[in-house]
Homo-oligomer: A and B are copies of this chain.
Amino acid sequence: MKNLNVGLIGGGFMGKAHSLAYSAMPMFFWPAPAMPVRHTIAEATDDLAAEAARRFGFEKSTADWRKVIEDPQIDVVDIATPNHLHAEIAIAAAQAGKHIICEKPLARTGEESKAMYDAVKDAGIVHMVAFNYRRTPAVALAKKYIEEGAIGRILNFRGTYLQDWSADPNSPLSWRFQKSVAGSGALGDIATHVIDMARYLVGEFASVNSILSTWIPDRPLQSGGADALGNVRGGDGPRGEVDVDDEVMTMVRFANGAVGSIEATRNGWGRNNFITFEIHGTEGSIVFNYERRDELQVCFANDGDDRRGFRTVYTGPAHPYGSGLWPIPALGIGYGETKIIEAHDFFKAIAEGTSVSPNFADGYQTALIDDAIVASAEKDAWVDVPRVAELAD
């Protein structure tokens, strides 16, 4: 088992999740494909970085992410920053020959994403974009059923990602509401996860037809760069403009003839992390709700008429990734497990010299879909989605 030194850039929510994954991956998947070594973490200042290193178990820290890129001991660069920094860091890391995992969305636009994609292709390194939710064991089980043909030809897909952390008009104007930093709002932040799962489970998008809505036009300015996700109310201070979408609705035509709809909002009171999909095929159906992520519901048409119904399958050792996780179902898949599996598959690809999915081609393709959604909403019309060449049918 080889050691791989990780340089993690960003010590926020995602920095925590990724640190957990590096620490826990060999505990779950043993023997590990390679041993992650938490080598260096970068944060905004020396103090923050030093604290993050202690907290997250890194050997070194730095206030300059370029130091991570330049360090010849670093094998893997992990980009867990706000979106506007992804491209610059990733391109530099690729040029330095590092393997890269980048938080989603890949970048703010298709154009930025293309530059990143081109860079990693040129560099010949292993690259991954962190759409972790497709690695929920229940989602991987859905994929398995579909690949086995257990639900036949797919007719449609309906997906949602509903949250409520920004439903309060006084939740703060974090970077997630600023186009210059985030690129888009609910679209890039959360709808992309559903888009990624739709591509994973159904196939490529042919065209989209969309509505973008901004329900809360301004929010309290936030001191500091914290990403409070609505848990801290903003009070009476000055407010700044929101220039991204609060909600996205889109219809989809898939290249294979299936149809779909996707909706995402961060203003849906009572919904927390309500990532759902329902897929109807000619031979069955699959339903998933991340809020109850240990479970996948599947209906097989060929069950007897007197005993057909959605089966609630709790994922465990008999299901994808089950040998590495917990010994019986429903002990509990949490957010961490999705990241642990992600880290496993990324390290496995590095160790074996293969590629992994979703990678930067996927991230770039998702960005092209995002761009088409924005264009569709602006034009009030169906817009075709261009295809990344290597993903052509």
A residues lining the B interface (CB < 8 Å): 1, 13, 16, 19-20, 23-24, 26-28, 30, 32, 35, 54-57, 141, 144-145, 150-151, 155-156, 158, 160, 162-165, 167-168, 209, 211, 213, 215, 227-231, 247, 249, 251, 253, 259-261, 263, 265, 267-274, 278, 280-285, 287, 290-295, 297-301, 303, 305-314, 316-319, 326-338, 380-382
Contacts and interface: CB of A to CB of B under 8 A. Distances in A.
Contact of A284 (B32, B156, B269): B269
Given A227-B327, A326-B335, A269 B23 contact: no
A62 to B, nearest CB: 19
Contacts of A23: 20, 23-24, 27, 57
Nearest to A291: B330
A281 B269 contact: yes
6 contacts: A167-B301, A265-B280, A269-B284, A272-B316, A306-B319, A332-B334
Contacts of A336: 24, 332, 334, 336-337
B285 A280 contact: no
A329 to B, nearest CB: 4
Given A27-B55, A247-B156, A211 B263 contact: no
Contacts of A327: 13, 227-229, 231
A328 B20 contact: no
A26 to B, nearest CB: 5
Contact of A303 (B164, B231, B311, B333): B311
B13 A26 contact: no
Q: Which of A19, A145, A167, A265 counts the most chain B CB atoms within 10 A? A: A167
A19 B267 CA distance: 38
A55 B297 CA distance: 34
Contacts of A303: 311
Nearest to A274: B330
A28 B17 CA distance: 9
A261 B249 contact: yes
Contacts of A295: 291, 309
B307 A298 contact: yes
Given A230-B328, A271-B285, 19 more contacts: A13-B326, A16-B27, A20-B23, A20-B24, A26-B54, A150-B307, A155-B267, A158-B263, A231-B328, A269-B285, A272-B328, A306-B318, A307-B311, A331-B334, A332-B336, A334-B336, A334-B337, A381-B381, A381-B382
B318 A305 contact: yes
Contacts of A145: 307
Contacts of A16: 27-28
A309 B314 contact: yes
Q: How many copies does the complex hold?
A: 4
Given A24-B23, A56-B27, A271-B285, A314 B291 contact: yes
A295 to B, nearest CB: 8
Given A209-B251, A247-B156, A328-B165, A309 B270 contact: yes
A283 B308 contact: no
A137 B27 CA distance: 24
Nearest to A262: B261
Contact of A332 (B209, B251, B330, B335): B335
Contacts of A164: 285
Contacts of A314: 272, 291, 309
A315 B207 CA distance: 38
A141 B309 CA distance: 13
Nearest to A31: B55
